[in-house]
A and B are shown apart, each in its own frame.
Chain A
Amino acid sequence: MNAFDIDDLLEQLVLEGRQHFSPHYMCQRLGISDIDGVADYLLSLANVKLIPYYEVECPEGDSDFIIPDPTKLEQEPRICRFCGTEYIPDPNRIWLAFDFTKSFIDHVKKKKERSCITIQSKKTPTHAVM
């Protein structure tokens, strides 16, 4: 797992307008299988580049609700809002997904604009000094 590759891909995803992606998605794009490693790295970017979401799944696999902290999951019976299954949330059934922070999106887009301007100015011929 190469952190630079992940960083490059994250910028690419901003430019593609991608949203709400999981470590699985990152691994698929990168062609690697280290989901846990990628997840840990993405979590290290929380609140800087990324906003993490901890989605609690019902036994049918539906993302029922989001919790801010996976270590504070209330294990009280509840009913899934999609399938109606009554279940007790399981700390092992939490799906992790991420969105980009606004500041990171703005940063990447400005960086892209600057690189376009630089390329354009290199292509434009300078006036000869008379």
Chain B
Amino acid sequence: MKLRDILSMEVPRSALKAVVSANNLKSGGNSVEDYANTILIHNKTKPLGLLLAEQYKYAGRTAANWFIPIPSFGDDWGDTKKAKEFLKNKYGEDLFNDGVKKPLTSEPQVFRAEQLADSLVMAFTYRGRERRVLENYRVVKRAPQLVDYVLIHFDPLTIETRTKTDNIKKFLNAVLKVMDKDPDAIKWEKVSKLTDAEALELANKLKAGLVGVKAKMTEGIYATKEVTANPNIKNLREEEEYNNEFSGKPLKKQTLTFSYRQRFGLTENIHFVITEDGLNFLSPVTEDVISFVRKHIQDIKNGHNKKDEELPEATGI
């Protein structure tokens, strides 16, 4: 996909507008295409255009789950260089260029790969569920071609799936197939599955406010209660009314918001949901944001007492 297309299709308007405004540029209009064009035609902002594309093209509004294989397999997957070499030997150079096009099935198949900083992203394509649609006024059955992404992080080897919960098992098996590993020999530790205590610790580390919750009712006629904070309330946990009713209740869903300053100058609120299935980013996020959250979760799971200055500071709400 051309850079202009990536910017106008994958990058949020707010990010494009922020780059245009911060550099005192005048766009021809206020559509995303106008902003994208403006960024690309000026030499001083073209690098920022490349940065925006890199940050958003595989991210955006996505679920994110992290899995560590047990036992881990270091040899061909110790770092990006070894991993790229393995993939090139198996699929050819095309995997990292135009892509490898195989016949589509309902099972995910890798068709493109790219190095992103010190990680590898693999694009998997598969046929979605067949639906009846109208084509030229005739009812036909069509199964859409879908794409989702998997990132491979190293040290420790961690697989990040960016697909909905139902697909995770399929995608992990597809990744193992790419890696020539036997699915029956590998178990997965789901790093993104957080207990209520871990979720609270993550919220504190991110300086994230709790703005919505679905809690299990442990007694009485209600199975769950779901509440959202009014816009004036930045953190339900700081409210007596919330604590009186929900303190100690198992939480099925937590909606959190934290402030993050992007490398390209935009400071924005990031909204995400923690459920028993993992994390789901509700607002379009960058690779930096996903990485920021991942590192904090790994920190929590490892039980390290890293000082906050070793990780980028969350700016709070």
Listed in ascending order, the chain A residues whose CB lies under 8 Å from chain B are: 18-22, 24-25, 28, 55, 57, 59-63, 86-88, 93, 95
Contact = CB atoms under 8 A, between A and B. Distances in A.
Contact of A25 (B166, B219, B223): B219
Interface stretch (B11-19, B97-105, B248-256, B283-291): B248-256
A20 B219 contact: yes
24 contacts: A18-B219, A19-B220, A20-B219, A20-B220, A21-B219, A22-B216, A22-B219, A24-B216, A24-B218, A24-B248, A28-B218, A59-B275, A59-B276, A60-B253, A60-B275, A61-B214, A61-B253, A61-B275, A61-B276, A62-B224, A63-B223, A86-B166, A88-B166, A93-B276
Given A20-B219, A21-B218, A61-B214, 4 more contacts: A60-B253, A61-B275, A61-B276, A86-B166
Nearest to B214: A61
Contacts of A20: 219-221
B165 interface: yes
A62 B218 CA distance: 13
Most B Cβ at <10 Å: residue of A18, A93, A95: A95
Q: Is the interface of B mostly helix, strand, loop or mixed?
A: loop
Given A60-B252, A61-B275, A87-B166, A55 B218 contact: no
A95 B216 contact: yes
B224 A24 contact: no
Contacts of B248: 24, 28
Nearest to A61: B252
A88 B167 CA distance: 12
Contacts of A62: 223-224
Contacts of A55: 223
B277 interface: yes
A61 B277 CA distance: 10
Interface-central residue, A59, A61, A95, by most chain B CB under 10 Å: A61
B214 A60 contact: yes
Given A19-B221, A62-B223, A95-B216, A24 B277 contact: no
Interface in B142-179: 165-166
B218 A59 contact: no
Contacts of A18: 219-220
Contact of B216 (A19, A28, A61, A86): A61
Contacts of B276: 59, 61, 93
Contacts of B252: 57, 60-61
A87 B275 CA distance: 15
B128 to A, nearest CB: 13
Closest 9 CB pairs of A and B: A61-B252, A25-B218, A63-B223, A21-B219, A24-B218, A25-B219, A22-B218, A28-B248, A61-B214
